Amino acid sequence: MSKQDGSSRQVTTGPVDDSATPILHVDMDAFFVSVELLSRPELRGKPVLVGGTAGRGVVAAASYEARRYGVNSAMPMSVALQRCPNAIVLQGDYPSYSTYSKRVMQIFGEITPLVEPLSIDEAFLDVSGARRLHGTPAEIAWTIRERVQAETGLTCSVGVAATKYVAKVASSRAKPDGMLVVPAHETVEFLHPLPVSALWGVGRVTEESLLRLGLRTVGEVAAMPPDVLERAVGPALAARLTHLARGEDPRAVHTTRVEKSIGHEQTFGHDLVDPVEIRRELLQLSGNVAVRLRKAGLVARTVSLKLRYGDFRTLTRSRTLGEPTDVARRVYDEASEALVGLIGDGQRVRLIGVRAENLRESGSGAMLWDPDEEWRDAERTIDQVSAKFGRGALRPASLVQRERDRQQRRDARAASAAARGASEGAAQPNPGRRGGDGDEPFDPTAAGWGW
């Protein structure tokens, strides 16, 4: 038995057939904010945001009180504060989030070994083999919610279903602090009234394509002739959406997570115009990606470039390598080639991203020669130096110049602010202002939240 309140929240409140629903999706509620509130209980019930305020900082998490104002994660902080001017902004504490995440995942692992973490605050569980010890899937879900709250002080929402997709939808419907069981025989009945945005993988662009076809619900997507859907979104996506709309999802819970791609992207505090400056940033991002590849013991066959302009137009370009690589110089060369024709003529760049895709284990498959051997040896030496002395101990000369340029800009802004302060102070003794708030230029290499 389930009930739906005045909002879209839907929870299970009584006996329900969970005999064929072994998949659980557990999602922590407003995780970053909730962890912060453990040490700041006076902020409970208030609109709280976690994220960066400098430059083009974004919202990493929002309390449910803030969400009522239309604020959500990944939103620019400037927009969030326009919608919710009385929001309390916290900078965030990743080490603390990681500590709580490990404890929550440990609780899951004590219930079943079949745990597939999706991110720091959510996971799939397969409880097929846990019934003898811990009860039915619904009882296990209830136990997990009780243990998480008792042992961490945090709340979570749990979806229980026959498939991963339906379990994930169910947990989102149960938020916050709820549980929703979708009996296997009621899967289609549960899915079909939902909006098309509930389909996994439907973003804004795909949703607009579906709406143009007159498709507003999952049920309407399920009933759409395949050839019509293919013309709108392409054959691969059409097939996936049709299966999901019918409640079909054969994916199992995997306990080992295989990296599908490794990437870094950066939103800048001010739009970049100078091609030299843009390529310096590209070099930094390529280096970050290569370091992560080597740490993971992976090589990439494809390098993807993402570019967002000042007007928010976004382009992606991919290049496939003759031989897979984990070398920053090769990643940069391919990304730089993909950049040709996309910058210049006054084009203002807001964001750059570099992603390594088509991954495989390093050393798998024989190569007749290694075109990156010398660069690889040099970069591994840099890895060793960095491990001993810290990142940045060795870096390309162009990136050293980039840091000098940034320092010069910071110095110039500080001098300008000091001059303004002196002028204002002469005219208005004791003006009572706090200098420097929000005036520091955004530094994408600094640890922080200005993503």
Determine the Cα angle at 210 with ends 207 and 214, to 5°. Answer: 130
CA distance 289 to 325: 11
Tell me, what's the pLDDT at 429?
Answer: 37
Tell me, what's the pLDDT at 312?
Answer: 85
- Residues of the chain with confidence (pLDDT) below 70: 1-7, 54-55, 257-258, 363-451
DSSP string, 145-208: HHHHHHHHS--EEEEEESSHHHHHHHHHHT-SS-EEE--GGGHHHHHTTSBGGGSTT--HHHHH
User: Across the strands, what pairs with 28?
Assistant: 156
Which long-range contacts (C-beta less than 8 Å, at least 24 apart) are formed by 191-194?
Answer: 191/166, 191/218, 191/219, 191/245, 191/247, 192/217, 192/218, 192/219, 192/222, 192/245, 193/217, 193/218, 193/219, 194/169, 194/218
Has 122 been annotated as catalytic?
A: yes
CA distance 7 to 272: 43
Gyration radius (Cα) of the chain, Å: 25
The half-sphere exposure of 225 on its side-chain side, counting CA atoms within 13 A, is 3
Listed in sequence order, the residues at least 6 apart from 114 whose beta carbon sits closer than 8 Å to its beta carbon are 125, 126, 127, 128, 129, 253, 255
On whether the CB atoms of residues 351 and 306 are closer than 8 A, the answer is yes
Determine the Cα angle at 303 with ends 203 and 372, to 5°. Answer: 165
Closest CA relative to residue 68, chosen from 11, 27, 26, 7 = 7
In terms of DSSP H, where are the helices of 92-136?
94-111, 131-134
The torsion defined by the Cα of 238, 243, 246 and 250, in degrees rounded to 10, comes to -160
Peptide bond between residue 176 and the one before it cis (omega within 30 degrees of 0)? yes
Determine the Cα angle at 212 with ends 206 and 213, to 5°. Answer: 95
Listed in sequence order, the residues at least 6 apart from 308 whose beta carbon sits closer than 8 Å to its beta carbon are 267, 314, 315, 349, 350, 351, 352
Instruction: Name the active-site residue from 36, 65, 122, 334.
Output: 122
H or E segment to which residue 246 belongs: none
On whether the CB atoms of residues 272 and 280 are closer than 8 A, the answer is no
Which domains does the chain possess? 1-183 (3.30.70.270), 192-245 (1.10.150.20), 261-398 (3.30.1490.100)
β-strand 156-161 against 179-181: which pairing, if any? parallel
On whether the CB atoms of residues 145 and 154 are closer than 8 A, the answer is no
- Helix, strand, or coil (residue 395): coil
Tell me, what's the pLDDT at 376?
Answer: 58
Closest CA relative to residue 300, chosen from 263, 266, 265, 264 = 263
Q: Could you read off the pLDDT of 83-97 as tens digits, one per residue?
A: 999 999 998 898 999
CA distance 59 to 75: 5
Look up residue 92 and give its two tokens.
């965030």
Q: Residues within the annotated binding site for Mg(2+)?
A: 27, 121
